[in-house]
Amino acid sequence: MSVCTLRIDDQDVAIAAGSTVLQAIRSAAIAVPTLCHLDGLSPVGACRLCLVEVEGSERLLAACVTTVQDGMRIHTNSSRLQEMRRTLIELLFSEGNHICAICVANGQCELQDLAVRVGMDHSRFSYRYPNRCVDLSHPQFGLDHNRCILCTRCVRVCDEVEGAHVWDVGWRGEHCQIISGLAEPWGAVEACTNCGKCIEVCPTGALFHKGEGTDEKHGHPGRLAALVQGRSRQELEP
């Protein structure tokens, strides 16, 4: 197995060739925020929070979808990146209808935690207040599009791990939203196995169990990595 050595924030890191820059960053215990990334799912580079500066590259690169190269010199926490990450979080908040105080995920929400982490005490962008709907057609679960940040974790977990592919991304631009089936009510999609993995990996309160009130949703994104690892070692039946 060939090894790449690279330098991340004045720290020398050696990692197997073919790894991603994000894996190298994590192996060096350097903290870089992520939102769409989840161990056990394929990376998509949707949220852009893991953007890093790579010397010799004019544009910023998303660490989760960039493969390491020998001799790379990477900066993960410049003031430019800090400012960009705060701006990204402000844009996520202003784009949807995120009212933490009355959300099922209040206190357990990755978006809410990231706002704290990037130092967002207010948004410099006016909130858009888009007109979005809530799908409660499924007997056990609900989807509130107001809280969705389009990270596509649900799309990927349903396709890659459950193999049901209930979820997809529909429409474009400001109308872009997660859809079930062919943009049908979730409850009408026969492919859904009611496994609840999408609820567990959702970073916000967009996907939830019916009956959960404010502060009552507890996601378990970490369980997914254990499941995927178990399957790869054939400890668990798919």
Q: Which residues bind to another protein, rule: CB under 8 A?
A: 93, 97, 99-103, 106-107, 112, 115-116, 119-123, 126-127, 129-131
3-state helix, strand, coil in the chain (%, to 5): 30, 15, 50
Question: CB-wise, 90 or 159, nearer to another protein?
Answer: 90
The least distance separating another protein from the CB of residue 175, rounded to whole angstroms, comes to 16
Instruction: In angstroms, give the least distance from the CB of 106 to another protein.
Output: 5
Looking up tokens 């999609």, which residue turns up? Answer: 189
Give the residue with the Cβ less far from another protein, 122 or 172: 122
Decide whether 129 or 171 has the Cβ nearer to another protein: 129
Closest distance of CB 137 from another protein, Å:
21
Residue whose CB is less far from another protein, 69 or 78: 78
3-state secondary structure of 73: strand
What is the closest distance, in whole angstroms, from the C-beta atom of residue 118 to another protein in the complex?
9
- Helix ranges, the chain (H): 21-27, 79-95, 110-117, 153-156, 197-201, 221-232
Structure tokens at 199: 């609820």
Angle (CA) 24-25-31 rounded to 5° is 160
The DSSP string of 121-141 is SS-SS--------EE--SSSE
* Distance in Å, CB of 95 to another protein, minimum: 13
* Closer CB to another protein, 197 or 217, in the complex: 217
Facing residues of 93 across strands?
Answer: none
How crowded is residue 128: how many other Cβ atoms within 10 Å of its Cβ?
12
Task: Give 174 or 190: the residue with its C-beta nearer to another protein.
Answer: 174
Give me 230's structure tokens: 């178990």
In the complex, what is the shortest distance from the CB of residue 134 to another protein, in angstroms, rounded to a whole number? 12
